[in-house]
Amino acid sequence: MVQAARLPPILPVENPTEPFWRTELHQLDELRTTPKLPQRSDIVIIGAGYSGISLAYHLYKQLSHSDQAEPAITVLEARQICSGATGRNGGHLRPDLYGNIPKYIERHGIEAGAEVASFEIAHIKALKELVAEENIDCDLNLTRCMNVYLNEADGEKAKQTYELLVAQGLEYTPDIHYTPQKYAEKISGVKGAKACISYTAGTLWPYKLILGLLSKIASSSMVNVQTSTPVTSVTTQDGFHFVHTPRGSITASKVVYATNAYTSGLLPQYSANIVPCRGICCHITVPDGKDAPFLPYTYLIRSAEGNGQSYMITRPDGSVIVGGAQHTFEHDREHWYKVTDDSTLIEPAKNYYDDYMQRTFRGWDESGAYVKEIWTGIMGYAYDSAPHVGEVPDQPGKYVCAGYDGHGMPVIFLATKGLADMILHGHTFEDTGLPRVYKSTSERLKRAADGPEGGDIFG
């Protein structure tokens, strides 16, 4: 028996805050390829953010031209294209060499950690090539990210991590540069910097990248995209999946959950693994007629109190996107933990960035810099800090690509390429060469379900 559709507990809210990235909407923003849902589709992808659209793009590229009546790929999106985390993030394409890599090395060994580092770094070249090949105007820029420490103890810890990574002789360490306190403030431009470390990173306009990719595939009869179509449940019978929405159901051979923070709404077994957590981000600019002081880098700035950090990019027009400020609200979980409401700001953080540039950077005191847009977004924090990619354990024909721990930009494009290989060619996860720590396994699901609440999320 096919079960009736039910409303899941976790769906994106209907009236989200407006991020800067969605102030120039693309004509495909509310795309419905056909007035009605197709009845059948080989592959249904749920979610039209970076994961869903990037996967659709890779599948499309790998499928030979098809004349079949039903679409090969259908993408269902609860709101508009790129209205989730991808359209509300920091625009920072930053291989996370200092956050999770040392953690992965400690837990899974040097090879596993190095695999992730190389994979994340590979995104810089891959996205540069993609943007050039597809001629997508998304403000892509390559630069260096400065990790800046305003607290001596944090600076010392960063130095030790740097030395540890260098001692491992990893391929990427020559790109990392450490600056001690003597020059840290002058090199970084950050007042009171006690140490800084820089490495290659990129910036881009995520919404324009995703809409640019969609525009390459949207006119093909192989692809059907339906916005404002929340999936309320998926049922399975005789090897087929039935994807239910308020507009009707679609029968599919394969279903992909590209639902990031919302994944456990449809796959409850992920509820301890991928936890929706709310973050805040804003766009700061200077008044008309003024020039923003030049900032050559992107940043990750740890506060002087050592209890919080902000990530920041400089846009090509000199304005900045900055977010974080968790230390202002993390003590009260109601503001962020298991929160899926991105229609309101986070009260304790909403004024934190008002004079951030003046407080933080040399040369900005008289800039008049002010917060022009501020918004919230929902991240999928992972219990063990690694995304879940691949087949949903024990559920043939279902795949997941989600749980990026607030860090999907240097992960998703190549992760979905590997996933496309699995879906179309039956490759195993191991065949794809994806980092081993990304594989979604029943052991990971069990560890999170049996472990203390929150896992890595709380520390």
Ligand X SMILES: Cc1cc2nc3c(=O)[nH]c(=O)nc-3n(C[C@H](O)[C@H](O)[C@H](O)COP(=O)(O)OP(=O)(O)OC[C@H]3O[C@@H](n4cnc5c(N)ncnc54)[C@H](O)[C@@H]3O)c2cc1C
Residues near ligand X (CB under 6 A): 11-12, 46-52, 76-79, 83-86, 88-92, 230-231, 258-262, 265-266, 279, 281, 311, 323, 377-379, 402, 404, 406-409, 412
Q: For residues 9 and 205, what is the distance between their CA atoms, to the nearest angstrom? A: 31
Residue closer to ligand X (CB basis): 185 or 213 = 213
CB of 290 to ligand X, least distance (A): 26
Specify whether the CB–CB gap between 45 and 56 falls below 8 A: yes
CB of 241 to ligand X, least distance (A): 14
Residue closer to ligand X (CB basis): 92 or 283 = 92
Residue closer to ligand X (CB basis): 181 or 340 = 340
- Sorted by sequence, the CB contacts under 8 Å of residue 415 that are 6+ apart come out as 51, 387, 389, 401, 434, 438
CB neighbours of residue 327 within 10 Å? 18
Q: Judge residue 381's burial from the number of C-beta atoms within 10 Å of its C-beta, 0-12 exposed, 13-18 middle, 19 or more buried.
A: buried
CB of 288 to ligand X, least distance (A): 27
Q: For residues 377 and 89, what is the distance between their CA atoms, to the nearest angstrom? A: 7
CB of 324 to ligand X, least distance (A): 8
- Sorted by sequence, the CB contacts under 8 Å of residue 4 that are 6+ apart come out as none
Q: Judge residue 366's burial from the number of C-beta atoms within 10 Å of its C-beta, 0-12 exposed, 13-18 middle, 19 or more buried.
A: exposed
CB of 208 to ligand X, least distance (A): 14
Task: Tally the C-alpha atoms within 13 A of residue 321's C-alpha that lie toward its C-beta.
Answer: 22
Residue closer to ligand X (CB basis): 21 or 364 = 21
CB of 287 to ligand X, least distance (A): 25
Residue closer to ligand X (CB basis): 338 or 446 = 338
Residue closer to ligand X (CB basis): 190 or 379 = 379
Maximum CA pair distance of the chain?
71
Q: For residues 195 and 147, what is the distance between their CA atoms, to the nearest angstrom? A: 8
Specify whether the CB–CB gap between 163 and 197 falls below 8 A: no
CB of 220 to ligand X, least distance (A): 21
Q: For residues 137 and 140, what is the distance between their CA atoms, to the nearest angstrom? A: 8
Q: For residues 406 and 236, what is the distance between their CA atoms, to the nearest angstrom? A: 31
Residue closer to ligand X (CB basis): 47 or 185 = 47
CB of 411 to ligand X, least distance (A): 7
CB of 186 to ligand X, least distance (A): 26
CB of 364 to ligand X, least distance (A): 21
Residue closer to ligand X (CB basis): 194 or 208 = 208
Residue closer to ligand X (CB basis): 92 or 439 = 92
Beta strands in 347-444 (DSSP E): 370-382, 388-391, 398-402
Q: For residues 112 and 163, what is the distance between their CA atoms, to the nearest angstrom? A: 19
β-pair partners for 93: 202
Residue closer to ligand X (CB basis): 3 or 68 = 3
Task: Tally the C-alpha atoms within 13 A of residue 137's C-alpha that lie toward its C-beta.
Answer: 2
Task: Tally the C-alpha atoms within 13 A of residue 219's C-alpha that lie toward its C-beta.
Answer: 4
The amino acid occupying position 320 is V
CB of 81 to ligand X, least distance (A): 8
Residue closer to ligand X (CB basis): 75 or 193 = 75
